[in-house]
Amino acid sequence: MNVHFLELFYYVAKHRGISAAVRHIPYGIQQPAVSTQIGKLERDLEVKLFERLPFRLTAAGEQLFQHVAPFFDHLPVVVSQMRASVETELRIGGAELILRDHLPAVLSRVKKQFPQLRYRLRSLGHRLRSLGHQDEPEDWLRAGEVDLMFLPLNSRPPAKLKQRPMARMPFALQVHPRSEYRSVDQFWKQRRVSEALICLPETSSVARAFQNELRRRGMHWPQTIEATSLDLIRRYVANGDGVGVNVHIPAAKRTRDVREFVLADFPRITMGAVWHGALTPAVGAVIEGVHAYAKETWPEYAC
């Protein structure tokens, strides 16, 4: 006996007809296919299960429905319980600044909902060629190496991945505390800035967006130092190696190693969550937690 045929019969019996069942079956199937497969089930059992018009279960149909209904009725609950029991580890990737300064507050809340959950955090700056160069984090997600990542988002989700915007953050220029620059206008008065530019790789979405805006303004400022993370850009600026172009993500703790000019009139970078496949309860809880945190912490930037 084909168990799939039993599942179709369950929906037909529960919703009192084939057309009504098709509207409630949680996957795509056409009415003729349901009718054909129910017919095969009746031939296998050598009984008639229901009258079509008007709909009425036969005695054999009533007997079969009473037998299969408890199983299919409780299946979603069992699946949820199974997922909760095996979902003991959540692997999250993202910019180190996000993982270090902001994610702990979110995870402490999620921990109350999933007390047995363990976390494995992966900083993008450790292995990625760039934060905005999305190939490697996409591969991590598709290969199942991580469950969730927080990245600058593309305008459309990458193939086979899903994404959700959290905040639209402005660009910022970072300079050494003793720099002669005291305002961002000093940069735009120059057609060509002589100071070294420290940025994510030229292939990154962040670097491309920044250079596109410079070209629109008629400016030329080529990149001199390529860094692999937001934190690394800041460290090189603090060392006096140049001016950093960064994403303005307010830190949980204020530091004085650099001065920062927020570029309010530049296009913003959309930061958000990226994942693969269906949302598990824990992944969904973290995404909702981060979105709520963004609204609380950066109300002027939150989506």
In this prediction, residue 251 carries a pLDDT of 67
Report the CATH number that the domain containing residue 49 is assigned in CATH. 1.10.10.10
Backbone angles phi, psi at 258, to 5 degrees: -140, 160
Query: For residue 118, is pLDDT > 50?
Result: yes
Give the mean model confidence (pLDDT) for residues 26-53. 90
Q: Looking at residue 220, what DSSP letter applies?
A: B
Residues 258 and 218 in one domain: yes
Number of domains in the chain: 3
Model confidence band, residue 1 (pLDDT cutoffs 50, 70, 90): confident
Residue 132: its pLDDT value, please? 41
pLDDT of residue 279: 86
- In sequence order, what E strands does the chain have? 50-51, 56-57, 89-94, 118-123, 148-152, 161-169, 171-175, 197-199, 223-226, 243-247, 259-263, 269-276
Indicate if 7 and 131 belong to the same structural domain: no
| The pair of three-digit structure tokens given for residue 250, joined into one six-digit string | 């307010």
Task: Please write the tens of the pLDDT for every residue from 248-271.
Answer: 987 655 668 899 999 999 999 999
Residue 7 belongs to some domain of the structure: yes
Mean of pLDDT values over 75-84: 70
Range of the domain at 8: 3-85
Tally of CB atoms within 10 A around 126: 10
CA angle 156/162/164 to nearest 5° reads 80
- Residue 222 CA, chain-centre distance (Å), reads 32
Question: Given a cut of 90, is residue 69 above it in pLDDT?
Answer: yes
Q: What is the mean pLDDT of residues 113-130?
A: 71
In CATH, what number is assigned to the domain containing residue 264? Answer: 3.40.190.10
Domain shared by 188 and 69, yes or no: no
Question: Helices 3-15 and 59-86 meet at what angle, rounded to 10?
Answer: 110
pLDDT band at 203 (very low <50, low <70, confident <90, very high): confident
> Within 10 A of 37 (CB to CB), how many other CB atoms are there?
17
**141: pLDDT confidence band, cut at 50, 70 and 90?**
confident
Separation in Å, CA 261 to CA 28, 103, 112, 223, 247: 53, 25, 38, 18, 11
Dist. CA 222–CA 237, nearest whole Å? 16
What is the predicted pLDDT for the residue at 189?
A: 85
Of 167 and 112, more confident: 167
Q: Is 50 exceeded by the pLDDT of residue 199? A: yes
**Residue 140 and residue 95 share a domain:** yes
Q: For the chain, what percent of residues have pLDDT higher than 70? A: 91
Same structural domain, 258 and 282: no
The tens digit of pLDDT for each residue in 208-264 reads 899 999 999 888 999 999 988 888 899 999 999 999 999 998 765 566 889 999 999
pTM above 0.75, yes or no: no
pLDDT at 129 over 50: no
What is the predicted pLDDT for the residue at 128? 39
